[in-house]
Amino acid sequence: MASKPRQNHSKPTSSNLWDRPPVLPTGDASQDDIYRAVGHALSRWEYLETELAALFALLCDTTSIAPQLAYGSAMAFGARRDMLVAASQAYFASMPFDRVLFDRIIEEIGKLSGLRNDIAHGTVMVFSGAYGSGFYLGPPPYNFSKNKHLTGAGHKYQYTSAQIVDIKNVFNIYHAQVKMLRDTLEAERQSWRETRPEPLSELEDQECPQDATLQSPELQPQASDPSPQSGGQS
């Protein structure tokens, strides 16, 4: 009986750093390599998130730790990204800086978070046959949307340890970009504050009559009534 032909689930390599890598026909010989790569990748993502929290504090224009704690209180990255965007709207409205770089980096990290979720929620599995040979990191069985093999189309992702290391390196690239962005914004803010003209106070911009007083009528000195003449006998 003829054996079942091997299915090819690989996709063409994409130029986007946040796209899933293709499924390779040969996985890892040891599951330990995958576990090690997963730990490294998730640690590097947390370094990236730490830098994003510092960026959020800068956009809030404060040195307090409070904005970073508020950033960390949001459970999902999508919510934390929305916090960054909302803070940036107020920041860039009050500062004469270009936000194009900020928008690009945050948008791309939002797409990159999908790879982080794959790694954080994946399970190590072994295949021998149509879906590969060796150990891979793939979606857990209960996640139907990412288990396309149930319909004959293969897993939505199936990473080797080398591919996970490549993703970790992408996390490093964006960590460096966020740090560069934060350093640039901080330097621009400091320079702008040192060179901008001092704003006039509200009263300095108005002409006040000479000897004008700002006392309320109740505090104005009152003319004293003449004391009544005594009716005593001489």
pLDDT in tens, 34-65: 999 999 999 999 999 999 999 999 999 888 89
Most confidently modeled range among 95-104, 160-169, 188-197, 221-230 = 160-169
Is the Cβ–Cβ distance between 151 and 131 less than 8 Å? no
**Residue 68: exposure state from Cβ atoms within 10 A (0-12, 13-18, ≥19):** middle
pLDDT of residue 149: 53
pTM for the whole structure: 0.73
pLDDT of residue 127: 85
β-strand partners of 126: 135
Q: Which residues 6+ apart lie within 8 Å of 9 measured at CB? A: 22, 23, 131, 153, 154, 155, 158
Is the Cβ–Cβ distance between 135 and 36 less than 8 Å? no
pLDDT of residue 182: 93
Question: By percentage, how much of the chain surpasses pLDDT 70?
Answer: 72
Token pair recorded at residue 157: 């992702």
Is 197 a residue whose pLDDT tops 70?
Answer: no
pLDDT of residue 30: 95
**Residue with more model confidence, 155 or 116:** 116
Q: How confident is the model at residue 130 (pLDDT cuts 50, 70, 90)?
A: confident
- Compute how many other C-beta atoms are within 10 angstroms of the C-beta atom of residue 33: 18
Q: How do beta strands 132-138 and 123-129 pair? A: antiparallel
CA distance 82 to 203: 40
Token pair recorded at residue 174: 């964006």
For the residues 187-214, what does the mean pLDDT come to?
A: 62
For the residues 104-129, what does the mean pLDDT come to?
A: 94
DSSP class of residue 14?
Answer: P
Is the Cβ–Cβ distance between 87 and 59 less than 8 Å? yes
Q: How confident is the model at residue 221 (pLDDT cuts 50, 70, 90)?
A: low
Mean pLDDT over all residues of the chain? 80
